[in-house]
Structure 1
Amino acid sequence: MDDFIAARSQMALSLGFHIIFSCIGMIMPFFMAVSHYKWLKNGDPVYRNVTRAWSRGVAIFFATGAVSGTVLSFELGLLWPEFMKHAGPIFGMPFSLEGTAFFIEAIALGFYLYGWNRFNKWFHWWTGVVVGVSGLLSGILVVAANAWMNSPAGFDYVNGQYINIDPIAAMFNKAWFSQALHMILAALTATGFAVAGVHAFMILKRKNIRFHRKAFRIAAVFACVGAVLQPLSGDISAKNVGARQPEKLAAMEAHFKTEAKAGLIIGGIPDVKNETVRYAIKIPGALSFLAHGDFSTPVTGLDAFPKDSRPPVAITHYAFQTMVAIGMLMLLIAVFYFFTLWKRKKWLEKRWLLKLFALATPAGFLAVEAGWTVTEVGRQPWIIYGIMRTRDAVTPMPGIVYSFYIFTAVYFSLSIIVVFLLYRQVKMVGQLYDVS
């Protein structure tokens, strides 16, 4: 492994670790706020207990996310100094605003955690809402910075110089809305299914059933709403990518040849050497329709780009197919759950329904990781699309391989610690809030 691959691998590891906590930090406080609101309105102590239990989980994820996010900010400067030298003044605004949102989130979380029986009950609830809103804004601002890398704006690039910088135009680039919308719904779906799955598992184990059933209902509704809306945002994102980064769309679909009535590929193994896809199911005209809203419009293939400017096809294609497959699975579960709420409420007590959610616990986060892989790998070989190649931005400092090994060990250890803390928290729920 050379230093360039090590630097990319370390960044990928850090992002892959941090994005899980970012998603939970964006969404989990809203679960907490809904449960808290229900307690304030109807006085049911079970909702108070759910709220307090979830607030402890939010604190754990906030602390871990803050640490991993800080590491990422240092890595940007240490691993990619040439990138930050030019990009920092252009897209620094969303990062600085994200820092402000983070500080507000931290203050509000402190008020919330230590405000029980000290503040006015509605003010206390409102601090929990602020935690969620500021966390959501923080996520949107970071995504806006990443979107700028995919759709550079807010400057003129003349003779290798970045001039006429406009930070507002950079932040509100052509990719920010579609990426932010897709990320928010992905976070909602992933967090919802993860939380619902954990509570479904505890119900199956006959632990504190009333507590976990109420918690499950809140998380499951959030998850299913996100899963139903996610394909719509996916369609918006795909069309946006097709217009701005046609080679990324081509890599996502392993679409090698520019052609009209382009077929949509499901599955398959890309053969990059022979520029074909083996063992795939192909739906004629469907890719043209999804990309352009017309079955006959040509879709640009990878053959329109020099080989050294094409994304890694296999990784991008497999990640995209994984994301879509998991998304469709969660959509089916969501539709079935809403049907159950509408027509078959007696099925809500069935063990097979709970098993379905328990098995889907990691599904959303697997889809998030796959989707992030599509976003980042699909942009290669560019770190700033069309402007700066990733290889030109990496640090000349030697020994990055050892840094990658150390960070891998650190993140692996952190993962074990977080899992242990969450397991301990779930066990404590049964002891502290046993109202079965």
Structure 2
Amino acid sequence: MSSRTEQGLFLVAHVLSDSGSGAPPGLLPAREQMAVSLGWHIVLACFGVAFPTMIFVMHRRGLVRQDPVALGLARRWSKVSAVLFAIGAVSGTVLSFEMGLLWPGLMGPFGDVLGFPFALEGLSFFIEAVFLGIYLYGWGRMPPRRHLLMLLPMAVAGVVGTYCVVSVNAWMNMPTGFRIVDGAVTDVDPWAVLFNSGALLSFAHMWVAAFMVVGFVVSAVYAAGMLRGRRDAHHRLGFLVPFVFATAAALAQPVIGHVLGIRLGETQPSKLAAFELATETEQPAPLRIGGVLVDGEARWYLEIPKWGSFIARGSFDKPVRGLDTFPAADRPPVNITHLAFQSMIGIGSLLALAVTVFWFLRWRGRDLLRNRWFLRFAVVAGPLAVMALESGWIATEVGRQPWTVWEVLRTEDAASGNPGLWWSFAGVCVVYAGMTIGAYVVLRSMARRWRAGEEDLPSPYGPEVATVDAQGPKNGPEKGPGKGPGKGSEKGSVT
């Protein structure tokens, strides 16, 4: 699975902005459907981007250190990754159809503009699928080092796919590489679209967010196991490796986000005004924490003088334009944009503080993995990271409204005019609910059997393992069929 998910997150501004009396009847169901499907699928996309790298680190540790626990974790994670990949492939296919079905006003005129990066993302997706299959069925069938290297194309494909799709999102916020002549899109430069001025920073922001989500979610699983008394080496290592990735991402993300946000004052000032809850131009502008807009007036917030200008514009003297300087029809939905933005910042800051405290105390000789309160927080940190991801996308894309392509194409002009899209929306909800239940059942079944000591879960197809001594004493822990890494020493463990 790649970052195909994010293809439509740029359209996640659903019911939160007013459709208007002249809006097509398909606008609201299109927004609802895209919001549900992409808000659900973006989490799977993060696993497609970040999980192969984590598996690579764990697998390499197992080979280099002759560590059966690490190899066992890598093998288990690969099977979890396969389940998530399969579900992501289904929902990714749904998204491919949704783009044209829900937003013909975008895909019709701008298909030539968006086709190239989407095509490259599709190729990345297939490359990732091919090498995931090779890696899964390579256990015990390939030389250990070569088997390990099968993870690298997966990781690279995740990076390339993420960049391609996020470059489309960046283009929608800062369109370039085409001209409109007599109402028709012409002179398309696909390379200018792919490498537009906002693509690199937007990619970095999303890529790091993927490692935050996967790192905190996976470590939360093992924190939950330790709360239940499973404090063996399996759980400690299963917690620490993804937590290291989450730590690096949580500390890097505020820096990337700040650099990305500084550009808004020049590129999307109305979005910045909504972020900062600036009803009128202020110089210097204060930082407002909390608050909502009621009858055009900001209320219930904590104000810190001058810091709004510094954080938003990189200077204590630069102004932040107010919402009153923009026509009412061109203003984004302020409250949801502001609250989503502040939720992202608040959760991200909390997670960055938590990882800093953890490693500082560890450096001072204190092991927080023995502290039940920290473990409880670690369990909660997984859902919090997901909430930060969703909040960030909502803030970014709802803040771009009422434009689908910034100052070129309005969202109401991009939407379908078919009122029957409500049936499509209902169908998508049913499909996604079924996939959610299916994923839960399968992953719980796998975890339960692993706790019972069943390492080699049967596959519905694939050849029998003829020999596994390639992962034997000199290269890994496996001795023969039915004796996977660490079997017998990991009873009572979770995924």
TM-score (norm 2): 0.85
Matched-pair contact (CA < 8 Å) for 1:148–1:170? yes
- The corresponding residue for 1:234 is 257
CA distance in 1, matches of 2:265, 2:134: 45
Shift of 1:130: 1.8
- Counterpart CA distance in 1 for 2:225 and 2:152 is 27
1:161 to 163, 173, 184: 184
1:310 matched to 2:331: yes
Instruction: Tell me the residue number matched to 1:170.
Output: 193
Partner residue, 1:398: 419
Structure 2: distance between partners of 1:196 and 1:293: 35
Q: Equivalents in 2 of 1:278, 1:356: separation in Å?
A: 31
> Of residues 474, 481, 489 in structure 2, which corresponds to 1:435?
489
Q: Which residue of 1 aligns with 2:445?
A: 424
State which drifts further: 351-360 or 187-196: 351-360
Pair 1:43-2:66 in alignment:
yes
1:350 partnered with 2:371: yes
Q: Does 1:281 align with 2:302?
A: yes
Mapped to 2, the partners of 1:93 and 1:51 lie a distance apart of 35
Alpha-carbon shift at residue 395 of structure 1 (Å)? 1.6
1:78 maps to 2:101: yes
Offset, 1:8 = 0.8
**Structure 2, unaligned stretches of length 5 or more?**
1-14, 16-24, 454-486, 491-495
Give the Cα separation in 1 of the matches to 2:50 and 2:91.
18
Which one has a bigger Cα radius of gyration? 2
Paired residue type of 2:428 = F
Describe how 1:29-428 pairs up with structure 2 within 5 A: 29-207=52-230, 209-271=232-294, 273=295, 275-428=296-449
- % identity of equivalent residues: 41
> What count of residue pairs does the alignment treat as equivalent?
434
| CA shift for structure 1 position 434 | 4.7
Deviations 1:344-398 (A, max 9, x none): 3433433332222112121111111111111221111111111011111112223
Say whether 1:25 aligns with 2:48: yes
Q: Give the Cα separation in 2 of the matches to 1:317 and 1:410.
A: 32
Which shifted more, 75-84 or 338-347? 338-347
Q: In the aligned structure 2, how far is the partner of 1:208 from the partner of 1:350?
A: 12
Residue 63 of structure 1 and its aligned partner are, at CA, apart by 1.1
**Which SS does the other structure have where 1:361 is aligned?**
helix
1:148-205 per-residue CA deviation (whole Å, 9 max, x = no partner) reads 1111010123442222211111111122112111111111111111100111111111
Give the partner amino acid of 1:421. V
Q: For residue 315 of structure 2, what is the amino acid of its counterpart?
A: D
| SS of the residue 2:290 aligns to | strand
Kindly indicate whether the alpha-carbon contact (under 8 Å) linking 2:27 and 2:417 is maintained by their aligned counterparts in 1: no
Would you tell me which structure has more helix in proportion to its own residues?
Answer: 1
SS in structure 2 of the partner of residue 265 of structure 1: strand
Q: Match of 2:425, as an amino acid? A: F
Q: Secondary structure at the match of 1:22?
A: helix
Q: Is the 8 A contact 2:341 2:392 kept in 1?
A: yes
Structure 1 SS opposite 2:214: helix
Distance in 2, matches of 1:358 and 1:331, equals 15
- Is the Cα contact below 8 Å between 2:44 and 2:84 reproduced in 1? yes
Contact 1:152/1:384 (CA < 8 Å) preserved in 2?
yes
In the alignment, the residues of structure 2 paired with residue 428 and residue 52 of structure 1 have an alpha-carbon distance, to the nearest angstrom, of: 14
After the TM superposition, which of the residue ranges 156-165 and 304-313 deviates more from structure 2? 156-165
What is the distance in 2 between the residues matched to 1:208 and 1:235? 38
Distance 1:57 1:367 in 2: 23
Matches of 2:368 and 2:351 in 1, distance apart? 18
Cα distance in structure 2, aligned partners of 1:215 and 1:329: 22
Deviation, 1:242, is 2.6
Cα distance in 1 between the residues matched to 2:215 and 2:318: 38
CA distance in 2, matches of 1:184, 1:205: 33
C-alpha separation between the residues in 2 aligned to 1:190 and 1:154? 33
Query: What is the alpha-carbon root mean square deviation over aligned residues?
Result: 1.5
The SS at the match of 1:360 is helix
